[in-house]
């Protein structure tokens, strides 16, 4: 029997990168998965790649009406949620001096406000004993040039689960953050190759991670294997933020 047999999971940003890799793992472990993303074509391709036990719901996590539509679809379908991987996020990188109000509002609007309402609006459907997993970043604890606004959003993400661990304890809902290091996904496309090479040079394991190396950890935090773990930030980073 799979580690997530019979569970219902929602994965935002499930159409690409780590979210897609996690959706595949969750289904392989016996879960039914709802995945989201803004682009319909990518979402359709992801649903096809996952193959079964999956529904794609197009939507933007920074749009509250889209979140309502997502959860109405879940309610009408499976009726409840056991696992929420609030993973959708954007990366746009500008150094201090070049930061614009639009950059700030967009990055905080998706990564912080969007993640917060993704979780809050899921709670009425959440089964007691469920698992909430957020995608943070090593940027929450590292100084990286041009990452100022992005890093601050991920520090906020880390802060949320401290509060929720206490606020949701009576419902036995666990909240944790996975903080990836540099993982080879399309989000890195705007970064120049030299910037990536420089980041990788500082990684003790001397390489980028793969999306599936996040997915296996997302299975762990979703399953009973992590039944006594809540409120943590679990770094999956080849050691870069640890030394």
Of 129-148, which residues contact ligand NAP (CB under 6 A)? 135, 137
Does residue 71 have an active-site annotation? no
Q: Which residues contact 184 (CB under 8 A, 6 or more apart)?
A: 208, 209, 210, 211
Q: How far apart are CA 185 and CA 88, in angstroms?
A: 13
Q: Which stretch binds ligand NAP (CB under 6 A): 12-20, 120-128, 141-149, 164-172?
A: 12-20
Q: Is 22 in the site for ligand NAP (CB under 6 A)?
A: no
Which residue is catalytic, options 26, 34, 71, 150? 150
Candidates 56, 89, 130, 148: give the one binding ligand NAP (CB under 6 A): 89
Candidates 97, 143, 186, 192: give the one binding ligand NAP (CB under 6 A): 186
Of 38-57, which residues contact ligand NAP (CB under 6 A)? 38-39, 42
Q: Is 110 in the site for ligand NAP (CB under 6 A)?
A: yes
Q: Which residues contact 17 (CB under 8 A, 6 or more apart)?
A: 183, 185, 186, 187, 211
Q: Using CA of residue 157, residue 158, residue 164, residue 169, what is the dihedral sign?
A: positive
What backbone phi and psi angles, to 5 degrees, belong to 33? -125, 130
64 or 166: whose CB is closer to ligand NAP?
64
Q: Which residues contact 189 (CB under 8 A, 6 or more apart)?
A: none
* Catalytic sites, residue numbers: 150
């Amino acid at each position: 029997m799979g580690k997530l047999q019979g569970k219902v999971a929602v994965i935002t940003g499930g159409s690409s990168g780590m979210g897609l890799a996690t959706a595949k793992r969750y289904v392989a472990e016996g879960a039914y998965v709802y995945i989201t993303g803004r682009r319909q074509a990518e979402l359709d391709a992801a649903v096809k790649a996952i193959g079964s036990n999956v529904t794609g719901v197009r939507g933007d996590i920074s749009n509250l009406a889209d979140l309502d539509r997502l959860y109405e679809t879940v309610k009408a379908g499976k009726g409840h949620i056991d696992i929420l991987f609030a993973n959708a996020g954007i990366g746009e990188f500008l150094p201090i001096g070049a930061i614009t109000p639009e950059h700030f509002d967009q990055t905080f609007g998706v990564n912080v406000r969007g993640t917060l309402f993704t979780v809050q609006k899921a709670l009425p459907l959440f089964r007691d004993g469920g698992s909430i997993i957020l995608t943070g970043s090593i940027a929450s604890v590292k100084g990286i040039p041009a990452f100022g606004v992005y890093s601050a959003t991920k520090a906020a993400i880390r802060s949320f689960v401290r509060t929720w661990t206490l606020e949701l304890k009576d419902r036995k809902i666990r909240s944790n953050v996975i903080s990836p290091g540099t993982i080879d996904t399309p989000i890195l496309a705007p970064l120049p190759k030299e910037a990536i090479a420089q980041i990788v040079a500082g990684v003790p394991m001397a390489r980028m991670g793969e999306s599936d190396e996040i997915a296996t950890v997302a299975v762990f935090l979703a399953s009973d294997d992590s039944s006594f773990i809540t409120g943590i930030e679990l770094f999956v980073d080849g050691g870069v933020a640890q030394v």
